[in-house]
């Protein structure tokens, strides 16, 4: 069969880890006699340099044509003082939003081989195996009004956290469906003691739960969730939360496993009019400009993002092969 994959290496270590991931995919494609058609596109800082835009229209076109898109990392220090609309990260947020991939799955799993690299005591890592399901196309990242207005003491920065019932319901159903294939436990994270968006979030989650009577549901406030993640991470199976909470807690989750360089992710949920599913596969880590170009970046998160891609394309045998090699490398 033919697999059309778009690679968007991006900035910093993004190019290095993407190159390694592509080597692995090419090798597996050859082994399984798949016709891997690989295209490379521009997104992020490199796209600003070459086209003036962090998310060129051509990149969107290529992503819509591909069976899947593998992405590296985005962000460069030279843009640190640029306004949000002119930053490399805008490219990443743009492609997530226009493709409509509202569900970002971030699996956090402890491996014996890395147990001593974790900042947590060894015994806490036993049985750690969760997926952080992060809502990806709503909330503070996209809400309006936003911006900086006024001058002097009245200069004001504004962002808006907003969610509709539809946005909460679809990510909740995604979380419950995933839980059904695992330990059948969903923990919904919110801040319903303070935020109206969180009150609606909890209400909608509670309304949907009876559709999945075989799955156990509980709720945690986000501050408590941050604490529970280091206190007893093995208690979690599926965690579901809004965009920014998911951004923050997934960095915390990643380092529990020993290195932020270990966490892959899959951004899914969107279907094209043709019926095809759209998927973006990217590591959770950033562009790490401080170590870029030194050949020391850990490519495993990207390689495992490739494994998540193969599973979503129902190429489980190929995915298993890479997974076995990955385990051997870690050992
Ligand atoms: C992530 C990253 C991005 C995000 C940045 C680079 C915009 O931190 O994927 O977690 O905040 O979503
Ligand atoms: Mg992040």
Dump the DSSP string for 294-323: TT----HHHHHHHHHHHHHTT-HHHHHHHH
Band the pLDDT of 13: cuts 50, 70, 90. Answer: very high
Atom index in ligand 1 nearest the CA of residue 74 equals 6
Nearest C-alpha to atom 11 of ligand 1 is from which residue?
A: 247
Nearest listed ligand to the Cα of residue 136: 1
Percent of the chain whose pLDDT exceeds 70: 100
Decide: 278 in ligand 1 pocket, CB within 6 A: no
Q: How far is CA 153 from CA 46, 129, 156, 160, in A?
A: 36, 48, 8, 21
The tens digit of pLDDT for each residue in 76-90 reads: 999 999 988 889 999
The predicted model gives 195-203 an average pLDDT of: 98
Atom index in ligand 1 nearest the CA of residue 250 equals 10
The tens digit of pLDDT for each residue in 21-70 reads: 999 999 999 999 999 999 999 999 999 999 999 999 999 999 999 999 99
Band the pLDDT of 237: cuts 50, 70, 90. Answer: very high
Decide: 74 in ligand 1 pocket, CB within 6 A: yes
Contact indicator for 86, 54 with CB cutoff of 8 Å: yes
Position 1 pLDDT exceeds 90 = no
The pLDDT of residue 98 is: 93
CA–centroid distance, residue 294 to ligand 1 (Å): 23
The pLDDT of residue 243 is: 98
The predicted model gives 252-279 an average pLDDT of: 90
The pLDDT of residue 96 is: 97
The tens digit of pLDDT for each residue in 91-109 reads: 999 999 999 999 999 999 9
The predicted model gives 163-188 an average pLDDT of: 98
The pLDDT of residue 271 is: 87
Position 274 pLDDT exceeds 90 = no
Q: What is the pTM of this model?
A: 0.95
Decide: 286 in ligand 1 pocket, CB within 6 A: yes
Band the pLDDT of 276: cuts 50, 70, 90. Answer: confident
CA–centroid distance, residue 247 to ligand 1 (Å): 6
Nearest listed ligand to the Cα of residue 286: 1
Band the pLDDT of 259: cuts 50, 70, 90. Answer: confident
Q: Up-side HSE of residue 294: CA atoms within 13 Å toward CB?
A: 9
Decide: 75 in ligand 1 pocket, CB within 6 A: yes
Position 15 pLDDT exceeds 80 = yes
Band the pLDDT of 275: cuts 50, 70, 90. Answer: confident
Cα–Cα dist 25/36, whole Å? 8
Please list the active-site residues.
141, 191, 223, 247, 251
The pLDDT of residue 11 is: 98
CA–centroid distance, residue 274 to ligand 2 (Å): 31
| Length of the chain in terms of residues written | 331
Q: Among 11, 43, 76, 247, which residue has the most ligand 1 atoms within 8 Å of its CB, making it the best to mutate?
A: 247
CA–centroid distance, residue 268 to ligand 2 (Å): 17
- Whose structure tokens read 């994959």? 5
């Amino acid at each position: 069969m033919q697999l059309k994959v778009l690679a968007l290496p991006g900035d910093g270590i993004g190019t290095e880890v993407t190159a390694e991931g592509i080597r692995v995919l090419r090798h597996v494609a050859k082994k399984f006699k798949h016709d891997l058609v690989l295209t490379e596109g521009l997104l992020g800082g490199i796209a600003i340099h070459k086209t003036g835009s962090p998310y060129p229209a051509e990149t969107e076109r290529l992503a819509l044509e591909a069976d899947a898109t593998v992405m590296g990392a985005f962000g460069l220090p030279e843009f640190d003082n640029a306004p949000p609309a002119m930053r490399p990260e805008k490219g990443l947020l743009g492609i997530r939003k226009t493709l409509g991939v509202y569900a970002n799955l971030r699996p956090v799993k402890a491996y014996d081989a890395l147990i001593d690299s974790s900042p947590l005591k060894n015994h806490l890592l036993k049985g750690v195996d969760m997926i952080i399901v992060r809502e990806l196309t709503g909330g503070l990242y996209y809400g309006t009004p936003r911006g900086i207005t006024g001058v002097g003491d009245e200069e004001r920065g504004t962002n808006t956290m907003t969610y509709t019932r539809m946005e909460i319901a679809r990510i909740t159903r995604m979380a419950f469906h995933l839980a059904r294939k695992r330990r059948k436990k969903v923990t919904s994270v919110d801040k319903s003691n303070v935020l109206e968006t969180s009150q609606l979030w909890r209400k909608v989650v509670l309304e949907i739960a009876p559709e999945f009577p075989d799955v156990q549901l509980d709720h945690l406030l986000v501050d408590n969730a941050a604490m529970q993640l280091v206190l007893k991470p093995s208690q979690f199976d599926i965690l579901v939360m809004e965009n920014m909470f998911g951004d923050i807690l997934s960095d915390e989750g990643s380092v529990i496993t020993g290195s932020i360089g270990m966490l892959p992710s899959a951004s899914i949920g969107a279907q094209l009019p043709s019926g095809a599913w759209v998927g973006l596969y990217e590591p959770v880590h950033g562009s790490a400009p401080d170590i870029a170009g030194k050949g020391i970046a850990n490519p495993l998160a990207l390689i495992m993002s490739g494994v998540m891609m193969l599973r979503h394309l129902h190429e489980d045998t190929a995915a298993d092969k890479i997974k076995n090699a990955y385990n051997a490398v870690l050992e």
